[in-house]
Amino acid sequence: MPGALRFHSSAACATNCTVSASSHLPGRRQAAGCLLGLLAGSPLARAQQPEFDRVPPLDELVNVFEFDGVCKLRATREAYDYVSGGADDEVTLRRNRQALSKITFRPRMLSDVSQIDLSTTLFGQKLPHPILVAPTGTHSRLHPEGELATVRGASRAGAVMVVSSSSSFPIDQIARAATVPLWFQLYAGPDKEGTFERVARALEHGCKTVCFTVDVPYFPHRERDLRNRLIRPEMEGERRRRAAGSPGFRYRLPPRFTFEHGAAGIVVSNHGGRYLDSAPATIAVLPEIVSSVGGRIPVLIDGGFRRGADILKALALGAKAVLLGRPPLWGLGAYGEAGVTRILQLLETELALAMGLAGRSNLGSLDPSLVRIEN
């Protein structure tokens, strides 16, 4: 298919290359072909972003990674880097994916999986599946209709959308475009009255849950954005303030804020690797957080989820739902509203299939015995 990259399994090639003591060594051409097959099937090769020379029809795309490639083709470099990049060396950005690849399944065979039920309940809301759209800002970088297109796409897929405080459109317009429950993400600024006003407005327009982001006391060092001059003025301001004897770092959440009690739930997140680089992968710390909470409140998670099987791993380790940040944005940048819907539907289908193949018919049947974490 021109312009669209497809990955395929090299398992057969790898098997054919196995050499026993009594076998004949493969010829040079066969060995070279097998080596290429092994490389194509390696985690490193699969982690590479698909490249496109044209925009293929939406129905030709079969996984999340391909939407990433189309988004890169259609978006400006500045917009794509802003969405897909991370802080500093982007170690945490890569680590989120690497940690998921170290978890393997222990499927249960001969189980009745004739009916797969993905439904769940969160904070009193009955949801068709545990896949949510994470809060991300300024969707208009990727599409002129921004969050309005995103929420329409999420609504068609039955996915809750968490609206960012940094959205391109006001909450009342986003709410009018939605047919699913909305949540609201809050950056609590130094203006206490303004913060309460934003929360009140979100609740007034139907947001059912408020997500208070606590991992952003300062703006991060994102080199892609610096090179693209998206944050140069702020960095220059910091340099001048430090030269004048001030600490100088710009903050989002006032750094004097300390631990808060009374949360109804927790989202395990490293902000997609966009703030503190070298933070651990979210899936790696999920089990200990779930254990610490002890079932008193639900634990949700985000960070690197690109496959239904990834989502199943988190659910098995105790997460009640998974939030997706970059994938809906790739869908938006690639195909607009329809791309958002397709991304979410693909992952919902993959999750259902992975559950069926693992021998689990509903979310209540998931537990840590389904997975093994490799060192």
Active-site annotation, residues:
271
What is d(CA 158, CA 181) in angstroms, rounded to the nearest whole number? 9
Exposure b/e, 290-310, CB count within 10 A at least 16 = b: beeeeeeebbbbbbbbbbbbb
Residues 4 and 9: their CA atoms lie apart, in Å, by 17
H or E element that contains 194: helix 192-204
Q: First-to-last CA distance in the chain?
A: 38
245: left (phi over 0), alpha (psi -120 to 50) or beta: left
Q: Which stretches of the chain are DSSP H helices?
A: 11-16, 28-40, 43-47, 64-74, 77-84, 91-101, 146-156, 171-177, 192-204, 223-227, 232-243, 282-293, 308-316, 326-335, 337-358
Contact 149, 143 (CB under 8 A): yes
Distance CA 181, CA 207 (A): 7
Q: Which amino acid is at 154?
A: A
Among residues 92, 82, 97, 15, which one has the least CA distance to residue 48? 97
> Element (H or E) spanning 300, and its range?
strand 299-302
Longest distance between any two alpha carbons in the chain, whole Å: 79
- What are the distances in angstroms from CA 116 to CA 155, 330, 345, 369? 21, 28, 15, 19
Q: With residue 64 as reference, give the H or E element that holds it.
A: helix 64-74
